[in-house]
Structure 1
Amino acid sequence: MSEPVDPAPRGGGVALCLPLDDEQRLDASARRHGVRVVARCSGASELAARIPALRPDAVVAAAQPQYLDAALVAACDEHGAKLVVVAITRDEQRLAAELGVIDTLAEPFEWDAQLEPAPGGPAPAAAADEPVAATPARGEVIAVWGPAGAPGRTSIAVALAAELAGRGGVVGLADADTHAAAIAPSLGLLDEAPGFAAACRLAGHDALTRDEFERVAEWVPLSRGGMSVLTGIGSASRWPELTAERVTATITAARAWVSTLVLDTAASLEHDEEISSDLHAPRRNAAALAAVRAADRVILVGAADAIGLTRLVRARLELLEHVPPERVIVVVNKVRASAIGVNPEAQVRQSLARFAGIDDPVLIPWDPRGFDAALLAGRPLGEAVPRSAARAALGALVDERILESAATRPGRRGFFTRERRLA
């Protein structure tokens, strides 16, 4: 049963398809936020049938079978309504992904979080003949790589995945390190049954389904949302299980089930065949090579000291043999005056620009207490120390370099403007 709220509902406004408590809360507060609620529907099929007449600018729906189905997703696409899906639990995120909605909100919908002023005046209403895609065609893969010497690859990978999950993404985190896997102990997980190795074996037999992926992955709940973690091999002697073909197949399959897959990789990209007489034998560094080659972005992590920066510059040259430069984001970790000198940020930027032609590195300040607290708690940095300076820098990396087009993608913060909702 629907309850029309506006007597003239055609064109613009927001339609709600949520549990009763959430529906009443949002409807009661909509007017003071300048939002016009044009319909409140108790079921997805009912709202889907009304969308052609309502022509709402946006639909807010809960990722539950009663409130979200394929017909509603299709109707929003066809009539240009931006679909905002609230998916907090793992089951809700799975339902949304099955319907092709990968970008979701991992927290209760609030007008304040979703409305932002329109620069330069009101934004034009969406044209009916310009459907808005509900989801990206494929999930993005981010490989975190860096030279030897403990620059902080795993710490950055874990924190990065958590930041992405907290922004509403369906995130997977996989440990593809064949030399020193560390994600499981970093998050307080058991690694007797390595999830990434199991996924690779299944992918090698073309048997890695969504159900199998969720079975071998560890679900790590966060304060906002959560992430699926594929733990790494506990014993380095198991590296032959991670062949290039299996790793590539696992990455390809996971793209269909997550909005972002973050891969923690080993430091070495050395071609093993150059030092092996058996050209058909497994290659220990094949997993890292396959990961960086398949990734849409590679986060190159280096340490901010004389040794770390030298290794970073050389490692970048090695990486560019496999990855085009536009896919590489340089991250300099552990930035501190005690190792660099006065004004360490300027020193690092100047050195990288002069000796490597790197003009836009991301600098992560030295925060040993924050990372130690995260390791002690077995939690990502942002969960253990929310006000960490390093966490703030990583959040800026996510917002400005990874999700730079987030404002135009459904299911992200600030996706429609306040003025556009004024009656």
Structure 2
Amino acid sequence: MNGVLIAAGGATWESAALGFLESSREFSLARRCVDVADLLAAAQSGDAAAALVSAEVQGFDADTVYRLVQAGVHPVAIGTDSRRCSALGIVTRLEVGELADLAGHLPRQRPAAEEESRPAGGGRIVAVWGPAGAPGRSTVALGLAAAWAELGINTILADADPYGGAIAQMLGILDEVSGLLAASRAANNGRATETSEHLYSINDSFAVLTGLPRPDLWAQVRAGAIELVLQQLRHDAALSVIDCGFCLEQSDSFDSGAPRRNQLTLQSLEAADDIIAVGRADPVGLTRLVRGLHDLEAALPGAEISVVINMTRPTIGWSDTEISATVERLTGRRPLAFLPLDQSAADAALIGGRLPREAASDSRLVKAFARLAHEWSTQHSGVRSKATPMPDRW
């Protein structure tokens, strides 16, 4: 028999649910939970296939739903407003008189994490990742996002580095409140549609969701909330660029619901339609890139990964062709583009808190970003056809 958890919070339907389970030949009561903490602890036991819940229970939020699903427990809201269920990510909602149909609403097989996090339709998500050692993840994410916006593609750049964001500083944004943190808090309480209120508008086609101003704030960004924020970004813009952290390590914690520092990076990569892996064009940077690509492929089998080599310069003594051959021989991936080191242009943009094109429109780096953005958008022409009007709040 399939075990079922109940977290009713005193709702009137609880007695009817208990009666259903007592008479059922397919289901049995695994536990009556007194609160959300009790519910999540019981879900970790592996004894339950479903949880009958009231979404009005104190402390019940999007992260609760996410953690139940991760534990293999299918949440079923009883008598809860359908809009509230949708806002929290609850797929199944039943009235108390429909409990006899419970078996038909349970998934026969839990879908893969990637399938869960990639809804059909909407905009496209591109994650920019790179190994440790400052290969220029944020620079590439900002440069490409700005170049795509310049092409008329409605673009959001989200800073999702759990070790401390840099995009706000690079653009001279002095917001004291993290857009990412504010959006995730709203989403966790069922208000993911407010994500656009926390965007910082750069121009008519470009907005930024600022990251964590301090590294210690990572624990306040809940996994369930981030999943909803990413979905909302996909809805709000034709193209969302996610500036990820470097680390792909999984936590060794026995509590699968405990906050994980690298969860933000891993979720962003899992949700992405495309991943751009950035490596620095020198012996140390290329070594880290090669090792990192193997780790990335192990963490996300089958992911769409494009390699970009950053900071190329004549003083290295290697041509782009030689670097390309080396990377392809060691990883099986031919680099998509080579971005030149243009320190004066990068410094002008950084010191002025401006977009690269605004600081040095004729720089080699800006032109390289423009070429890459144009080539990519040509290959993914559907991005423009899916373009959505900018939210009024931008």
Query: Shorter chain as normaliser: what TM range?
Result: 0.5 to 0.7
CA distance in 2, matches of 1:392, 1:158: 14
1:255 corresponds in structure 2 to 234
- Please tell me the root mean square deviation across aligned C-alpha atoms, in Å: 2.0
Amino acid in the other structure paired with 2:264: A
Q: Measured at CA, do residues 405 and 182 of structure 1 come closer, stay the same or move farther in structure 2, by a change above 3 Å?
A: closer
By how many angstroms is 1:359 displaced?
Answer: 2.1
Amino acid in the other structure paired with 1:174: A
- Give yes or no for contact 1:331–1:364 (8 Å, CA) kept in 2: yes
For the residue of structure 2 that corresponds to 1:321, the secondary structure is helix
- Of the three residues 217, 229, 241, the one matched with 1:238 is 217
Q: Measured at CA, do residues 411 and 325 of structure 1 come closer, stay the same or move farther in structure 2, by a change above 3 Å?
A: closer
Q: What is the correspondence of 1:300-319 to structure 2 with a 5 Å cutoff?
A: 300-319=277-296
1:382 corresponds in structure 2 to 357
- Give yes or no for contact 2:307–2:334 (8 Å, CA) kept in 1: no
1:331 and 2:308 are equivalent in the alignment: yes
- Of the three residues 201, 207, 221, the one matched with 1:219 is 201
CA distance in 1, matches of 2:125, 2:147: 15
CA distance in 1, matches of 2:314, 2:357: 24
By how many angstroms is 1:214 displaced?
Answer: 2.8
By how many angstroms is 1:348 displaced?
Answer: 0.8
- Give yes or no for contact 1:173–1:230 (8 Å, CA) kept in 2: yes
1:270 and 2:245 are equivalent in the alignment: no
TM-score for the superposition, normalised by structure 1: 0.60
Amino acid in the other structure paired with 2:347: D
1:287 and 2:264 are equivalent in the alignment: yes
For the residue of structure 2 that corresponds to 1:234, the secondary structure is coil
2:124 corresponds in structure 1 to 140
1:156 corresponds in structure 2 to 140
TM-score for the superposition, normalised by structure 2: 0.64
Q: Deviations over 1:310-335 (max 9, x none)?
A: 00011111111233456111011001
CA distance in 2, matches of 1:405, 1:180: 31
CA distance in 2, matches of 1:283, 1:346: 40
2:188 corresponds in structure 1 to 204
- Give yes or no for contact 2:327–2:335 (8 Å, CA) kept in 1: no
By how many angstroms is 1:408 displaced?
Answer: 9.8
By how many angstroms is 1:409 displaced?
Answer: 5.2
- Of the three residues 174, 178, 182, the one matched with 1:190 is 174
2:163 corresponds in structure 1 to 179
1:391 and 2:366 are equivalent in the alignment: yes
- Give yes or no for contact 1:240–1:283 (8 Å, CA) kept in 2: yes
Amino acid in the other structure paired with 1:269: L
Q: Measured at CA, do residues 194 and 251 of structure 1 come closer, stay the same or move farther in structure 2, by a change above 3 Å?
A: same
Amino acid in the other structure paired with 2:144: L
Q: Deviations over 1:173-218 (max 9, x none)?
A: 1111110210110000024100011111111122122xx2232111
CA distance in 2, matches of 1:240, 1:408: 33
By how many angstroms is 1:356 displaced?
Answer: 1.6
CA distance in 2, matches of 1:165, 1:242: 27
CA distance in 1, matches of 2:182, 2:339: 33
CA distance in 2, matches of 1:411, 1:288: 26
Q: Deviations over 1:77-114 (max 9, x none)?
A: xxxxxxxxxxxxxxxxxxxxxxxxxxxxxxxxxxxxxx
Amino acid in the other structure paired with 1:231: T
Unmatched runs of 5 consecutive residues or more in structure 2: 1-119, 388-394
- Of the three residues 278, 294, 297, the one matched with 2:274 is 297
Q: Deviations over 1:201-258 (max 9, x none)?
A: 111122122xx2232111112xxx4412111111111101223222111011121111
1:421 corresponds in structure 2 to none
Q: Measured at CA, do residues 406 and 243 of structure 1 come closer, stay the same or move farther in structure 2, by a change above 3 Å?
A: same
Deviates more, 1:303-312 or 1:380-389: 380-389
Q: Percent identity?
A: 36
For the residue of structure 2 that corresponds to 1:148, the secondary structure is coil
- Give yes or no for contact 2:238–2:383 (8 Å, CA) kept in 1: no
Unmatched runs of 5 consecutive residues or more in structure 1: 1-135, 413-423
For the residue of structure 2 that corresponds to 1:391, the secondary structure is helix
By how many angstroms is 1:154 displaced?
Answer: 0.5
Q: What is the number of residues matched between the two proteins?
A: 268
Q: Deviations over 1:250-299 (max 9, x none)?
A: 01112111101111111101101x2x354432000000000000001111
- Give yes or no for contact 1:191–1:233 (8 Å, CA) kept in 2: no
CA distance in 1, matches of 2:338, 2:270: 24
